[in-house]
Amino acid sequence: MDRIRRSLIALALLFLGTAAVPAQEQRSITVASTTSTEQSGLFGHLLPRFTQKTGIQVKVVALGTGQALDVGRRGDADVVFVHDRAAEEKFVGEGFGVKRLEVMYNDFVLVGPKDDPAKAAGKDVLEGLRRIAAAKAPFVSRGDRSGTHAAELRYWKDAGIDIAAARGEWYREIGQGMGPALNTASAQNAYVLADRGTWLSFKNRGDLAILVEGDRRLFNQYGVMLVNPAKHPHVKAQEGQAFIDWLVSPEGQAAIADYKIGGEQLFFPNAAPAGRA
């Protein structure tokens, strides 16, 4: 009986020991990224593939680009994956990011009521915005320091409109992500600048439609950066770099290209080939 008891105890200890190994070995990273990559469903498509290949779990903190970069500056993320090149280059220049790599692109679209009361439709986003401002037609701004918000402010400036001076009841800042901005525009039958990926995945369109697209100014590039472990030693540099390497690898790039809604591709991979980054 004692021999049997000892054998059972040994087996139990062996089982407990092996069961504890996965928990000890489980690796994970935090990625600060944009609401467009999250709300478009891209991460839901990509991350299971990455985790299956590497065993590394990924937690996404989805914010506007400016806020995501702030998370990286504080060292509260291992990787930053956003879409505002000037802000990204500043992040790296200040020493908070190791290196910026391009991953993919899509484009912005100007969305508005199908009957287009401001007559903004066309191929020129600047002219469309001028007409919206002249008509004082309802316009929803994310107002959240996101890459989309930064692009919107840049377009107003390039259109020759001082939006800080011109804004009134017609210009509505909500301080939220792309999904809520589209929901607000749909509810208020207003104009809004959106990234195409989130627009394609958005179901509550109401009477909204794309009115301006195809302007070269609407190009929307995404970049990825490892948070600098020299600034924040706790950054999981090995795992974070593994995620970056996978994103820009042929496998990761193919996974990005494979993501479609209704047969339409949302993001277009354009990482530089190995050795040319």
Identify the CATH class of 107-218: alpha beta
**Mean pLDDT per 10-residue interval, the chain, length 277 residues:** 48 43 69 91 96 97 94 98 96 97 97 98 98 98 93 97 94 94 97 94 94 97 97 97 98 97 94 64
Instruction: Check residue 170 and give its pLDDT.
Output: 97
CB neighbour list of residue 80: distance below 8 Å, 6 or more residues apart: 31, 32, 33, 68, 69, 71, 72, 88, 91, 97, 224, 225, 227
Q: 31 near 82, Cβ under 8 Å? A: no
Measured distance CA(225)–CA(136) in Å, rounded? 40
Instruction: Check residue 9 and give its pLDDT.
Output: 45
Q: 33 near 61, Cβ under 8 Å? A: yes
Q: Convert the pLDDT of each residue in 171-200 to its tens digit.
A: 999 999 999 999 999 999 999 999 998 999
DSSP calls for 186-254: HHHT-EEEEEHHHHHH----TTEEEEE---GGGEEEEEEEEE-TTT-TTS-HHHHHHHHHHHHSHHHHH
Instruction: Check residue 36 and give its pLDDT.
Output: 87
Instruction: Check residue 20 and give its pLDDT.
Output: 42
| pTM of the shown model | 0.83
Please name the residue that has the structure tokens 């377009």.
Answer: 155
Measured distance CA(47)–CA(20) in Å, rounded? 24
Q: 142 near 148, Cβ under 8 Å? A: yes
Provide CATH code, domain 2-105+221-269: 3.40.190.10
Q: Where along the chain do its domains lie?
A: 2-105+221-269, 107-218
The amino acid at residue 130 is: R
Q: 76 near 232, Cβ under 8 Å? A: no
Measured distance CA(232)–CA(99) in Å, rounded? 15
Measured distance CA(263)–CA(256) in Å, rounded? 14
As to burial, measured by CB atoms within 10 angstroms (0-12 exposed, 13-18 middle, 19+ buried), residue 127 is middle
As to burial, measured by CB atoms within 10 angstroms (0-12 exposed, 13-18 middle, 19+ buried), residue 24 is exposed
Instruction: Check residue 5 and give its pLDDT.
Output: 52
Instruction: Check residue 273 and give its pLDDT.
Output: 74
Instruction: Check residue 118 and give its pLDDT.
Output: 98
Are both 2-105+221-269 and 107-218 of the same fold? yes
Q: Which residues pair with 102 in a beta bridge?
A: 223
Instruction: Check residue 76 and give its pLDDT.
Output: 98
Instruction: Check residue 18 and give its pLDDT.
Output: 40
